[in-house]
Every structure is written in C-alpha cells, then in structure tokens.
Amino acid sequence: MILQNLQLLQQSPAIFALVIGIGVIGLVVGFTIHEFCHALAAHGEGDSTAHQMGRLTFNPLKHIDLFGFILILVIGFGWAKPVQVDPYNLRHGRLGMSWVAVVGPLSNIVLAFLLGLLFRFELLNTRPGFSNTEDILAFAVSLIIFYNLVLGIFNLIPLPPLDGSKVLGGLLPRSLYGPYLRFERHGWLILIGLVMANFLLSRVAGVNILGSVITPPLRFLFGLAAGPDLARFFF
C-alpha cells in the first residue's frame, strides 16, 4: 500500500497520510470481520477451538498479525492471524470446512455491499475527493469498500493457504482429496513465489499478474455494490 502510493507522497504528504490512514482502517475492519466470521462459522459447525482461543470477538487485536499487517501496508501483501479449526469436530466434515472457509471472504463482500448502499441511496457523494469533509468521508467509505472486495476476491483464489483452497478441497471427490492434501502442504510455496514474481514484474516491467486476475471481478463487484458512477471514478 505504501509503495503503491509513493508518487502521492511526493505530490501531497497530507493526502498520502490520509489515504494510508483510511487504508489502515479498512484493512483492520476487513481482517476483523473476516476472521470473526471464520470463528463464528466453525463454532456453528460444532468446533469450539476458535472460541476457546478468544477468536469469537470483534476485538481487532485478537485477529491482527503484526508482521503480516506491516507487510500488507508496505508491499500490499500480508495476512491476519488464521483461525484454528479442528476439522474432526465439524458436523458436516469436509463440506463444513468449505463453509467455514468461504464465509470469511463472503463477509468482506457482504460488508462492501452494505457500505455501497450509502452511495446507491445517494447518502454519500459518488465523486469523492479531498476538498471538504463530505468528500473525504465518501472517499474513506469507497476505499473501505475497495479493500474489503480485494480481501474477499483474493482469498477465494484456490491456492494454499488461501480460503479458496479449503473451499475447493471440501468440494473435491474423495478420490482426489488425498492427493490434494499433499499438494496443500506445499502449495503455499506457489503462492509466495507468485506474489514475489508479481512484485518484481510490476516494479521492473509494469506487469501485474495478480492485478489482471483480481481487477475484472473487483471492478464488476465494485460497480454492483456502489454503482457505476463511483466505479468509473475509482477505476
């Protein structure tokens, strides 16, 4: 986030600080909602592990991993504290694990759509900016919508350890589940390699692999949530 906005820092340090501050709020809200919903879904499925670890709470300090949060602020990729789930306690087994996994990203998308109603009902300006308090508030809400949609979409990518991999694992035929588990143990290396390659390519050659994957559904969902006028302004 910080590296992506360095040009803004040169133009206006005050606006840069405002954008980063709003981004921090959006990410804290997004991570907290995301992990809380994982914990709530697991508890509803019969696994009390997360509840016993104090994760069934809206307290962001219980969900934020400091190092992962610093990384996402600096380079745009990081993580929260993963919610621990014992799959053997889940009432619906692998399908229960898929449900626990998918509600995290869905919670971010639902939150984005709820906030988008403020623009849909014209309670906020669809041309946000920094000229007055109303415009700044509109920009802040639109940025929180943006980051929550990014969190939701990115986590649905079916690569370990992202939620999408657990969703896919729970839906696979039993004959494929064993081989998939073996892949899942090492699949995170693919994700780390992809993120590192994406970071280098975007800096050296201006090629954003992850951006090309995430941006189309992001633009589509942003337009659905907050309306086409705000989407055109934002993208």
How far is 148 from 187, CA to CA, in rounded Å? 25
* Length of the chain counted residue by residue: 235
For residue 28, the tally of other CB atoms under 10 A from its CB is 18
Q: Which of 35, 45, 122, 134 is catalytic?
A: 35
How far is 56 from 173, CA to CA, in rounded Å? 31
How far is 68 from 72, CA to CA, in rounded Å? 6
Using CA atoms, how far residue 199 sits from 2, 29, 108, 194, 228, in Å, is 13, 25, 24, 8, 30
Catalytic residue check, 35? yes
Residues 6+ apart with CB under 8 A from 22: 139, 140, 143, 144
How far is 190 from 210, CA to CA, in rounded Å? 13
Please name which of 2, 1, 21 lies closest in space to residue 140, comparing C-alpha atoms.
Answer: 21
Which residues are known catalytic residues? 35
